[in-house]
Structures are given as structure tokens and as C-alpha cells.
């Protein structure tokens, strides 16, 4: 029977270096000063053993957690993936790791994850709620520093970072009117999501010469788009379409193609949430680009302050979206790629 390889502990390092465990800890954490000689012996023992601290045990004793929880509605959604990616990097800079959980757009699952994640005793939480009803999913005396991002919850007391949904959507709405649309159909997943709601309200508040109507299609858009198809072939076909989120936009754009409608000649098209492909299709799509990276960085900044002990009043940040007007909303020029075909 060979000696089974065991994860080295601080005690093994201490023994090998011929010092006490406290000295090892001091060398590693640099709190108390240690003589160069001892420090060197410890460093070598650490290297030889391939020792890395057990960060869980460390937290247990010190009370300092190096973990933050991240809860998103859907990791497969590239917007949220990008958010998490930026967050992960910012967190690492600060010496934190992240535990990521996806609620899969299911409020019940979100509640479950939110409860479960507390088991890790994270130093903080960053949450993009999957709908407005976050309050009922947090435990009574929720004491973990928490930042909510992207969507506005039904609960105060947390820092919040989101984008200027209303004004950005309003710009699109006015632009559609200015480029000749008189009737517009706005399509989104659900008004129960605050940013979809804000966008729709932004459209309504925009005024302008185009009359808009709103349609909710839910999260599995491809299945729910059938009734919409009828609206697009009938005589009452709107002059313009405005998709309020990426998921919807993808499905809606495909539907428009399947119906053989030409953009922008037959119907103008705009989207909230810009993805790479929107600049590659012909004509390229008018879209609102959200500052996802900036949102993640701001969320991290806010959380850092809270984790550092800031107990000031909760802060709300609204970041500005970029609105990109492109060929899909006219003027009636065909794009290069289309001309070529």
C-alpha cells in the first residue's frame, strides 16, 4: 500500500519548515513580521508541498469570505454571460471568486437558488432577478450585501444598477415615426419584467407620429409567435416592428424572414439589445446597445463598497444606452449586401 497522496495542510507545512502553524499563517498572510530565515523556510515548504490555503477553513476562523454569489436569469443568454464574464474578472482583481447560479427564468428556481447560495456564506451577492417579485424570495433578515442589476425589484434597500430603458426606447420610437412609420408593433417577453415595462413606457411617452401597440410573447418565443404571424400578413400589418429584448428579437427577425417581408421596404425593424449578428445581416439592424460590461463593473464597484462596510443609503445608477440607427429602419436604401445579391 503506497502512501495515499493527501492535500497538504498548514500543519504539514509547519512541520516541514520546522516552525509553528502560526508562523506559517503569518508568512502567508503577511500580518505579523517574520524573520527572513523563517519566512524563507516556510516559502520553500509551501512550494515543495504545493500547498494552497483552505479558503473555507480560513473564512470559518477569520470571518472574511472571499466568495460572492451571482444569480442570473439565464446563463445561456449571451447578455448575461457577458455580464458574468466581466464580473468574474472584476471579482478576481479584488481577490474574490464567484459562485454562479442560473434561475432559468423560473421564479421558483430563483427562490431555491437564492436560499441555497446562502449556504456558502458569501461576502456579497449580485442578482439579476428573473422578475419583479424579488422580495418574497429573500429571507426575512437578509443581511448579505446585495446589488441588484438590470431589473428593478419590488424591494428597496439594495443598490441598483440598470440602464435608461425608457429614454433609449423613446429614441427608437421617435426615429420610427420620423422615418415614416404610422403604426408600430412592439414585441417583448413580458411586462412583468421591469426593463421591458420601462421600454414600453418609454415608447408611449415618446410621442411622435407613430401609434404603437404592445404584444407579450413570453420566454419561449418561437412557440408563441404564431398569433403574431397573422398580424404581420393581414391588411392591418404595422409599418414597423420593435423587439424589446434579444430573445424576442431573434425569433421575431426569423419570423419576418420566413414570411418573406422585406426590411425596411415592407416593414421597418428595430431591436432593444444589440448582438453581433445585427450588424452582419442585410440591411443591418437599428438597435439599442446596452452597456453590459459597464453595468457589471458598476455593480462590482457598488458591492465592493458595501462589503467594505459602507452602510450609507442605497444607491441607484442608470447607465446610458447607445442607440444605433441603421438600414433596417430606412431611409429606403438597400444595403450593400442586398444590392449585390
Residues that bind DNA (CB under 7 A): 7, 9-11, 18-26, 28-29, 31-35, 37-39, 51, 53-54, 57-58, 60-62, 64
Residue 89 touches which member of a second copy, DNA, none, C-beta under 5-8 Å by kind: a second copy
Q: Give the chain's length.
A: 341
CB of 49 to DNA, least distance (A): 10
Q: Which is nearer to a second copy, 100 or 152 (CB)?
A: 100
Range list of H helices, the chain: 10-17, 21-29, 36-49, 55-62, 78-93, 107-117, 165-178, 194-205, 221-224, 226-233, 246-258, 292-307, 336-340
Helices 78-93, 292-307: axis angle to 10 degrees equals: 40
The residue from 1, 2, 5, 313 that contacts a second copy (CB under 8 A) is: 5
Site string for a second copy, 100-129 (x = CB under 8 A): xxx-x--------x-xxxxxxx--------
* 270: helix, strand or coil: strand
**What does 4-28 look like in DSSP terms, one character per residue?**
PP----HHHHHHHHTS-HHHHHHHH
Contact 221, 195 (CB under 8 A): no
| Residue 265 DSSP one-character state | T
Least separation in angstroms between CB 213 and a second copy: 25
User: Least separation, in Å, of the C-beta of 168 and a second copy?
Assistant: 23
- Contacted by 34, from DNA, a second copy, none: CB < 5 to 8 Å by type: DNA
Q: Report the alpha-carbon distance of residue 55 to residue 66 in Å, rounded.
A: 8
- Binding mask of the shown chain, residues 182 to 221, with x at each position contacting a second copy by CB under 8 A: ----------------------------------------
Regarding 64 and contact with a second copy (CB under 8 A), the answer is no
Judged by beta carbon distances under 5 to 8 A according to partner kind, the member of DNA, a second copy, none in contact with residue 64 is: DNA
Cell matching residue 198: 420601462
| Residue among 65 and 214 whose Cβ is closer to a second copy | 65
Q: Give the three cell numbers for residue 329.
A: 429602419
Q: Which three cell numbers stand for residue 87?
A: 464580473
Among 39, 53, 204, 315, binds a second copy (CB under 8 A): 53
- Rounded least distance, CB 69 to DNA, Å: 17
Cell of 229: 404571424
Least distance in angstroms from the C-beta of 277 to a second copy: 3
Q: Which three cell numbers mark 184?
A: 408600430
Q: Which residues of 10-44 are buried (b: 16+ CB within 10 A; e: fewer)?
A: bebbbebbebeeebbbbbbeeeeebeeebbebbee
Which is nearest to 281 in space by CA: 259, 260, 250?
Answer: 250
Chain center to CA of 176: 28
**Short-list 298, 285, 195, 303, CA closest to 249:** 285
Binding mask 142-161 for a second copy (x = CB under 8 A): -x------------------
Q: Which of DNA, a second copy, none does residue 31 bind (CB under 5 to 8 Å by kind)? A: DNA
Given the complex with a second copy, which of 104 and 289 has the nearer CB atom?
104
Q: What is the smallest separation between the CB atom of 135 and a second copy, expressed in angstroms?
A: 14
By CB under 8 A, the residues from 262 to 321 that bind a second copy are: 262, 275-277, 279-282
Q: Specify the residue, 19 or 67, whose C-beta has the smaller distance to a second copy.
A: 67
Site of interaction with a second copy (CB under 8 A): 5, 7, 50, 52-57, 59-60, 67, 74-76, 78, 81-82, 84-86, 88-89, 92, 97-102, 104, 113, 115-121, 139-141, 143, 250, 253-254, 257, 260, 262, 275-277, 279-282, 334-341
Amino acid at each position: 500500500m503506497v502512501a495515499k497522496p493527501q492535500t497538504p495542510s498548514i500543519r504539514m507545512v509547519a512541520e516541514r519548515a520546522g516552525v509553528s502553524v502560526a508562523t506559517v499563517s503569518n508568512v502567508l498572510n503577511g500580518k505579523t513580521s517574520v524573520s527572513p530565515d523563517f519566512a524563507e523556510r516556510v516559502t520553500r515548504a509551501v512550494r515543495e508541498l504545493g500547498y494552497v490555503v483552505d479558503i473555507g477553513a480560513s473564512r470559518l476562523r477569520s470571518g472574511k469570505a472571499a466568495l460572492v454569489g451571482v444569480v442570473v436569469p439565464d446563463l445561456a443568454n449571451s447578455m448575461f454571460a457577458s455580464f458574468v464574464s466581466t464580473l468574474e474578472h472584476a471579482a478576481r482583481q479584488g481577490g474574490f471568486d464567484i459562485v454562479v447560479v442560473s434561475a432559468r427564468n423560473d421564479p421558483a428556481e430563483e427562490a431555491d437558488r437564492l436560499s441555497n447560495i446562502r449556504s456558502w456564506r458569501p461576502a456579497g451577492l449580485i442578482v439579476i432577478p428573473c422578475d419583479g417579485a424579488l422580495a418574497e424570495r429573500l429571507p426575512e433578515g437578509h443581511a448579505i450585501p446585495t446589488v441588484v442589476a438590470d431589473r428593478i425589484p419590488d424591494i428597496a434597500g439594495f443598490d441598483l444598477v440598470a440602464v435608461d430603458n425608457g429614454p433609449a426606447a423613446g429614441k427608437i420610437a421617435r426615429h420610427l415615426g420620423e422615418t415614416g412609420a404610422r403604426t408600430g408593433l412592439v414585441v417583448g417577453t413580458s411586462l412583468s419584467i421591469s426593463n421591458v415595462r420601462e421600454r414600453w413606457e418609454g415608447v408611449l411617452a415618446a410621442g411622435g407620429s407613430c401609434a404603437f401597440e404592445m404584444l407579450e410573447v413570453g420566454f419561449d418565443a418561437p412557440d408563441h409567435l404564431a398569433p403574431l404571424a397573422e398580424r404581420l400578413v393581414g391588411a392591418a400589418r404595422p409599418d414597423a416592428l420593435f423587439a424589446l429584448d434579444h430573445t424576442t428579437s431573434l425569433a421575431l427577425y426569423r419570423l419576418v424572414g420566413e414570411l418573406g417581408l422585406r426590411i425596411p421596404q415592407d416593414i421597418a425593424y428595430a431591436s432593444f439589445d444589440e448582438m453581433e449578428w445585427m450588424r452582419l445581416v442585410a440591411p443591418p439592424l437599428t438597435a439599442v446597445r446596452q452597456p453590459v460590461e459597464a453595468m457589471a463593473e458598476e455593480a462590482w464597484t457598488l458591492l465592493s463598497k458595501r462589503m467594505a462596510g459602507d452602510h450609507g443609503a442605497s444607491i441607484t445608477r442608470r447607465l446610458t444606452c447607445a442607440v444605433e440607427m441603421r438600414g433596417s429602419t430606412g431611409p429606403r436604401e438597400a444595403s450593400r449586401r442586398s444590392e449585390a445579391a
